[in-house]
Amino acid sequence: MIEVESESWKEFSGTSITHPDEQEKFYRIFAKYAIANGWLCGHFLEVKGEPIAYIYGVNFNGIFSSLKVSYKVRFKAYGPENLIRMYTLQELYKQRVRINDFTGVCEEHKMRWANKTYGRTTYRLFNRTLKGVSLQAISKIRQWESSLSQK
């Protein structure tokens, strides 16, 4: 996965799991936890033994959440993201997965594979300790920053 990411368009745009280092560390730790609980679900596409694309996600209670998808940019003309997506959907169907959650924003490339969408709401609860009040303040600042960047 790291090899594919390091040669992906995400690497060049700074959104790869290798940026920042904490993100790569998170995915390594999370993978161990997901494996231990039987949730990890990942697929690789290889050409002559070289990994060129992957989907990394979790399969929990019949719902597959696609956390990361990437491909090596030099193979873009061959549609590796579409090939790995098609294979993954076939495998999920065989496993009787009920929902494939692409996660994130409903982008055009995701909607080619979906016929329905749904919404989610996140609620954050903070207690009145110093830590809770501090985390609430940080959360509000991040929401404010996010609203500014969307304008």
Distance between terminal CA atoms of the chain? 34
Task: Give the residue among 43, 24, 42 at the shortest CA–CA distance from 16.
Answer: 24
Quick check: 113 and 82 in contact, CB under 8 A? no
CA atoms of 3 and 50, how far apart (whole Å):
10
The CATH fold assigned to 2-118 is: Aminopeptidase (3.40.630)
- What the block records as the tokens of 131 is 């830590």
- What the block records as the tokens of 146 is 């996010």
- What the block records as the tokens of 79 is 């549609």
CA atoms of 151 and 144, how far apart (whole Å):
11
Express each pLDDT in 44-74 by its tens digit.
999 999 999 999 999 999 999 999 999 999 9
Express each pLDDT in 106-134 by its tens digit.
888 888 888 888 887 888 889 999 999 99
Residue 117 is predicted with a pLDDT of: 86
Express each pLDDT in 33-52 by its tens digit.
999 999 999 999 999 999 99
The three state secondary structure string of 51-68 is: EEEEEEEEEECCEEEEEE
- Residue 110, CB half-sphere, CA atoms under 13 Å: how many? 16
Burial 131-147 (b: 16+ CB within 10 A, else e): eeeeeeeeeeeeeeeee
Single pTM value for the model? 0.74
Residue 148 is predicted with a pLDDT of: 81
